[in-house]
Amino acid sequence: MAKALIWGFKDRTFLIGMSVSIQRITIGYLISLVLGIGLGFLVGRFKILDETIGSLISGLQVLPSICWLPLAILWFGLNEQAIQFVIIMGAFLSIAIATESGIRNIPPIYLRAARTMGIKGIDLYTRVVFPAALPSIATGMKLGWSFAWRSLMAGELLFVSIGLGHLLQTGRELNDMPQVIAVMVVIVLIGLIFDQLLFSQLEKRLRSRWGMTT
């Protein structure tokens, strides 16, 4: 297995697979961030939106994102867009939900303090609401990333592409157990590195600076 790992990197198939997967997730994840934070803000801001599509959002979030693949293939064909669609559907809803709950749970005293100093309109959003909701948004970013990563792997497994998921699939086809396990290790490692080193740290720092415990 270790040999397969080293071999895979020497051979550059792993490197190529990794770079393709990471490139995909970067694009899909960034789009998810924009959509998720935007939607979360709107739903948190307008009660009507919350009442109408609030439960739809939490309902859809339960659906494993890979279930979107058939629909995505019908819409976009077997291509890059279909896989991006699956990533986005996996990630952006949880980001939206976390953003919305962050906004809903802002201590009202922050808003009152800002308003008494004459802050209003857009300023109230950019200078108070957004920063106050940031720890919760970071939680959503972390959650969203891990959903995005899972969705991507599932998507790559299920259809032809050159990502890491596809390497797993070829390993199976060649009956090459060491390669399968080696690829799994790489997938876990990438997941851990982003989750633990990037998002958990970010979340922890924000929470402690914002004076929130746990």
Partner 1 sequence: MKLKRSLKQKKINMRLSIEKVSKNFTAQHGKVLALDEISIQIKEGEFICFVGPSGCGKTTLLNMVAGLETPTKGVVRQSGEEIKIPSSDRVVIFQEAALFPWLNVIQNVEFGLVRRMNVRKRREISRTFLNLVHLGRFENAYVHQLSGGMKSRVAIARALALNPSILLMDEPFAALDAQTRDILHEEIEEIWFQTKQTIVFVTHNVREAVRLGDRVFVFTARPGRIKKEFQIDLPRPRDTNSESVVLYAKLIQQELREEIEKFLKEEVDRDWSLKKANLLRPAGIDLGSGI
Query: Which member of 20, 39, 134, 180 binds partner 1 (CB under 8 A)?
Result: 134
Site for partner 1 in 182-211 (CB under 8 A): 208-211
If binding means CB under 8 A, how many residues of this protein chain bind partner 1?
21
Q: Which two tokens stand for residue 186?
A: 């790489």
Q: How far is the CB of 88 from partner 1 (least distance, A)?
A: 29
Answer yes or no whether residue 109 interacts with partner 1 by CB under 8 A: yes
Q: Which two tokens stand for residue 17?
A: 């697979």
DSSP state letter for 66: G
Answer yes or no whether residue 123 interacts with partner 1 by CB under 8 A: yes
Answer yes or no whether residue 75 interacts with partner 1 by CB under 8 A: no
CA–CA separation, 23 and 46 (whole Å)? 35
Please say whether the beta carbons of 98 and 203 come within 8 A: no
Q: Dihedral of CA 116/121/123/126: which sign?
A: positive
Q: How far is the CB of 42 from partner 1 (least distance, A)?
A: 22
Query: Which member of 30, 113, 174, 189 binds partner 1 (CB under 8 A)?
Result: 113
Q: How far is the CB of 37 from partner 1 (least distance, A)?
A: 16
CA–CA separation, 86 and 163 (whole Å)? 15
Answer yes or no whether residue 47 interacts with partner 1 by CB under 8 A: no
Residue closest to 22 by CA, chosen among 181, 203, 178, 189: 189
Q: Which residues bind partner 1 (CB under 8 A)?
A: 109-110, 112-120, 123, 127-128, 131-132, 134, 208-211
